[in-house]
Amino acid sequence: MPDHTPSRTPDPPRTPDPSRLPDPPRTPAQTPGPAPAPTPAPSGFRGVFALGGPALPVFAFLARLPAALCPIGTLLLVNQRDGIGDAGTVAAALWLGQALGGPVIGRLADRRGHRPVLLTACAANAAVLTALVVAVLGGLPLAARTGLAVAAGLTVPQVGPLARVRWARLAGGNKALLGSALSFDTTLDEVGFVVGPALAGILAMTVHPASALVLAAVLILAFGTLFAVHPTAPGPVAAAAGRSRVRLWSPGLVLLFALASLQGAAWSGANTGVNALAAALGRPGTAGLVWAAMAVTSSLAGLATVARPGAADLTGRLRRSIGIQAVLTLPLLAVSGPAGAALAVAGIGLAVAPHLIALFGLVERVGPAERMGEAMTVVGSGLIVGQALAAAVAGPLAAAYGYRAAFAVSCAAVTVSAALALATAGRDRFNPA
């Protein structure tokens, strides 16, 4: 017979009484204590390379090298075929185009983003440089060559100023890291300032006078494109309606533009004097070596600033560096040979990088974030405008009165710059609005 006795339901498992369980052993992680301090962000070279990776500085340097190759390359190419008169006209046209086109490129980069603007500018600049070489070698009229030189200047991609915009965005609110990044970027400019003219001269002597411009076109097309598509490239920073109401110019930015123009004038006067001195001694080939001494010492000063950025106030650094540069420029009036000129310009170089580092650091502070690319390129154009205007004055003075007259232009420019900075560059001037 089947068993009808109901089956017994098993008892549910008994939950242990927590009060009777032994205390678990305490581990070091459970021991109460103060929270560990956060690891500080690396600074100096480590911090800079951690921001954008090792490829970004390489692309930025090689993409901006054409800006140092093109002026001397244009002079050498046109001078070899048509003489120094036409060469000066065409080179001045290139400078003019670059001064006018820089802020336009910067504004478009703010509005459209770095990538599309830089890709377009790099392709256009490479094409125009190639056309300029063809025009010079083909013997086209001076008006055609001058127009192409203006177009070449207008389409310069402005890699240097836009690289500074990227570093500022990557550094965020870390002022020490931002100082290191801007110091490093300024040092790249100084190194290019040495390498570019020297490389153009070597190529002109060993290959062909047109080779510097051809190399510039290749570099800007290849590495300018790589810089444009790098992941750090920012997009548009604001909607067009909001951006149109953001004011670019402020008293601080006007002052920085003026100081940049005077710095360019100081460079141009000194460079003209060095070339006039070398020509007067019958040794024109020494001018490039003498002038390179400034870029070497300025690069070293920039590298020292990257390694040990310190916490110095940018306004104080700006005023001190301009004042020191004014004192170090005075020995130019006493030089009588290449060795003395090299020592003098090397001394000046010790103050140049700290000056430019503070200058562009303050641009980042006073320029509106929505138009930072335009602000950087405007001040960069100030350097070019100052060089062009001073060259127009220093050249005739040197021809009429000797090389010391050109050095006097440099001394006057940096003295005015120091006086302007001391009188007006108070800390409140650069407070963001």
Q: Are residues 213 and 274 located together in one domain of the fold? A: no
What is the widest separation between alpha-carbon atoms in the chain? 137
Q: Are residues 78 and 224 both part of a single domain?
A: yes
Both 385 and 261 in one domain: the answer is yes
pLDDT of residue 43: 57
Over 80: is that where the pLDDT of 305 sits? no
Question: Is the confidence at residue 282, as pLDDT, over 50?
Answer: yes
Closest CA to 155 of 192, 120, 189: 120
| Residue 244, in any domain of the structure | no
- Is residue 256 located within the same domain as residue 393? yes
What is the CATH classification number for the domain harbouring 225?
1.20.1250.20
pTM over 0.75: yes
Inside any domain, residue 373: yes
Task: Please state which of the ranges 71-80, 109-118, 259-268, 377-386 shows the lowest mean pLDDT.
Answer: 71-80
- The reply to whether 202 and 313 lie within a common domain is no
pLDDT in tens, 218-276: 999 999 999 999 999 988 875 544 445 678 888 889 999 999 999 999 988 898 888 88
Is 70 exceeded by the pLDDT of residue 312? no
Nearest to 28 by CA among 39, 37, 19, 36: 36
Same domain, 343 and 263: yes
Residue 324 lies inside a defined structural domain of this protein: yes
**6 in a domain, yes or no?**
no
Please tell me the predicted confidence (pLDDT) of residue 272. 86
362 C-beta neighbours (distance < 10 Å), count: 23
pLDDT tens-place string over residues 65-85: 998 888 888 888 887 888 867
**Whether 170 and 262 share a structural domain:** no
State the total domains in the chain.
2
Contact 350, 190 (CB under 8 A): no
**The domain boundary residue, chosen from 215, 237, 259:** 237
Inside any domain, residue 37? no
Identify the pLDDT of residue 104. Answer: 93
Q: Are residues 164 and 67 in the same domain?
A: yes
pLDDT band of 425, cuts 50, 70, 90: low
Note down the domain range covering 193: 52-237
pLDDT of residue 64: 92
